[in-house]
Amino acid sequence: MKVSTNTKLQKLASPSARLRAQLRKAFRAGSFRAATVRERVPEHLQPGANALHAVARRGGALLAVLWLSAALAAIAFSAAQTVRAERDRTANLVDGTRAALLASSGVERGLLYVQWGPGIPLPDGRPRFWAPGLPFLRFSFPSGEALVEIIPESSKMNVNSAPPDFLARLIVALG
């Protein structure tokens, strides 16, 4: 038996040619009702329809994941900024508290040294605590150093009893 060339070509033809032939056969049989093009062709016979929907779904999912990633990155950046600002505020508060306590400790120790007076001098001849005429005291604490300046009350000027020429010189000196 001889096989015609058309039959051979049809068997060797691409899947789309076979698909078209199946569609023609189904259409001639009248098994289709009037409907949309998508409904006329059975889904398993539609070339690449499922692939198009899958690509569209994957594209939408990718877009959703990108937006979600951007939102999470913005939240993480905001949280990092908040943590950094709080850390800086806390460091400033700790430094301020340390400085205030250091100054207070320096003043308290300075008052004690003034009350104790010169005492027994050190081997190099300096006063052990404080002697009149000593302008300042330097104290070393574990958290830092404090410098206490001792200003006698007599060095202050009483504005109510100061002579006018003294006040004029003060104003000129201050600018």
The string of pLDDT tens digits covering residues 43-52 is 655 555 555 5
Averaged pLDDT for residues 112-139: 87
Q: Residue 60 — pLDDT band, cuts 50, 70, 90?
A: confident
Q: State yes or no: pLDDT of 87 exceeds 60.
A: yes
What is the rounded CA–CA span in Å between residue 100 and residue 94? 10
The chain-wide mean pLDDT, for the chain, equals 81
Note the Cα 152 to chain centre separation in Å: 51
Q: Which amino acid is at 101?
A: L
Q: Residue 121 — pLDDT band, cuts 50, 70, 90?
A: confident
What is the rounded CA–CA span in Å between residue 58 and residue 63? 9
What is the rounded CA–CA span in Å between residue 157 and residue 29? 121
Element (H, E) at 8: helix 5-12
What is the rounded CA–CA span in Å between residue 58 and residue 72? 21
Q: What pTM was estimated for this model as a whole?
A: 0.50
Is 58 or 92 the better-scoring residue by pLDDT? 92
Averaged pLDDT for residues 26-43: 59
Averaged pLDDT for residues 29-53: 57
102 and 141 Cβ atoms separated by less than 8 Å: yes
